[in-house]
Structure 1
């Protein structure tokens, strides 16, 4: 059994940022199968012990620690004991972090769990403190603090490779506009005016995932919205651009850790998009 408790009085970032997702969840006797996000997962364990496999090592997140999962990294999640655990999380797009980093490669917190005081404080601001604040500056401040704290915790060297941010953001715009129908890498190469393989490397460096996986996550996001509106699984699959319901189910589980039916039966689908 598990349940999700949506935050009240949701905040909206400034117009230059798309809304982010925040979740308050309690899990008992259930777990997530291996999956990956195209966002940073910033999570605070509020009670119990959260166990998960990350980069081929079993890890545990305890109350008072912060869990930072890099985009596109496979992980699962399960209860260490019958008491279960509860957590609050925010899913921060790499594109938001890039507004602070300005072209530097994304920071990687290698252990997945940290006791770094500055990083914990920054995560608290992002996950909890600005969740119910309508003032746009609250999100901007939390985002800046989080990006800097992750950079420091990752021990980033002063010398970094600067990717072609203009080309990557142009490719992202095209994918956002055409994800239902799809966009080939050679088309992105033309519209972004950048060699397709360099574009692919830079896209991964700046946004944490490949163009294809980014497109798939946008399709899953649309399918979630359609399912929340009450359409059937088949209608959601078709409306989000999946070739068939089987493809939809496989992709959904890889992105969410649950099948579409499991997600609908849970309370997670009621989570408010903040």
Structure 2
């Protein structure tokens, strides 16, 4: 798209933020949901994939990204819905850059609302459906406003059902075992600092190895190993935000060393840990 198609910054844009320096504003994670607002003028994120839904909207400019073998362009007014474990990146579609807000939602939260139904999938990652726009609005207030826990839970319930309605998801196979997948997930949460085998998960869930592996992917959008790695990255990010040196954050989260953690971090978030911290610091200056 040409620069002429880029939208101007909306009325709620804070004029104190520089438009020529990339930045991220991050609200504290709350109940399995992370909220960010960010501005990028050139390349934002390298190709990466994480195990949460990424749902949001472009506030200004053209937000371009590769997703499912095509380039998508998000403009103000639409809704982005990126499915867990789908590779994507992010860059400015025009010289003016782009500004956006996004929420990252653990699939388990939608499962709690949908009761073990298939995870909703929005083809192409972009939607103009007003049901999604309305349901997303409640979860995308300004980053400076904390959400009441009950407010967030109600909004997540509405968003889960809006996604389910818009996606028109097909039913899962009859043999899929939601309870077994939940037991395996609970086991992983209790074993973040040590290696875990699929045999252990099978024993804990009462399901055979490969059926459990299929069920886990169907209900939570990723493999058991990737899920465990992402929870370790969550722990590492919390430590980094608290001022823990990268090498110590990596060790405490169960990674072999800092380089091991950095490789997984970049693959999951599209930036290195040090760049992520610099962009968070940029908006604080």
Query: Structure 1 length normalisation: TM-score?
Result: 0.89
Q: Which SS does the other structure have where 1:241 is aligned?
A: coil
Tell me, yes or no, if the aligned pair for 2:26 and 2:36 is still in contact at 8 Å: yes
Equivalence for 2:194 = 181
Q: CA deviation at 1:231?
A: 2.1
Computing the radius of gyration from Cα coordinates, the structure with the larger value is 2
Equivalence for 1:3 = 23
Equivalence for 1:90 = 103
Question: Following superposition of structure 1 onto structure 2, how do residues 201-240 of structure 1 map, counting pairs within 5 Å?
Answer: 201-240=214-253
Q: Which moved more, 1:183-192 or 1:144-153?
A: 144-153
Tell me, yes or no, if the aligned pair for 1:2 and 1:267 is still in contact at 8 Å: no
Query: Structure 2 length normalisation: TM-score?
Result: 0.86
In the alignment, which of 96, 108, 112 is matched to residue 125 of structure 2? 112
2:48 corresponds to 1:35: yes
**Runs of 5+ unmatched residues, structure 1:** 13-17
2:50 corresponds to 1:50: no
Equivalence for 1:121 = 134
Q: CA deviation at 1:161?
A: 3.0
Tell me, yes or no, if the aligned pair for 2:41 and 2:92 is still in contact at 8 Å: yes
Counterpart-to-counterpart distance in 1, 2:103 and 2:29: 12
Q: CA deviation at 1:185?
A: 0.8
Tell me, yes or no, if the aligned pair for 1:175 and 1:182 is still in contact at 8 Å: no
Counterpart-to-counterpart distance in 1, 2:76 and 2:41: 16
Counterpart-to-counterpart distance in 2, 1:11 and 1:231: 18
2:81 corresponds to 1:68: yes
Q: CA deviation at 1:266?
A: 1.5
2:185 corresponds to 1:172: yes
Q: Which SS does the other structure have where 1:250 is aligned?
A: helix
Q: CA deviation at 1:229?
A: 1.9
Counterpart-to-counterpart distance in 2, 1:69 and 1:268: 26
- Considering Cα pairs closer than 8 Å and 6+ residues apart, tell me whether 1 or 2 has the greater RCO: 1
2:254 corresponds to 1:241: yes
Q: CA deviation at 1:24?
A: 1.1
Tell me, yes or no, if the aligned pair for 2:32 and 2:105 is still in contact at 8 Å: no
Q: CA deviation at 1:135?
A: 3.8
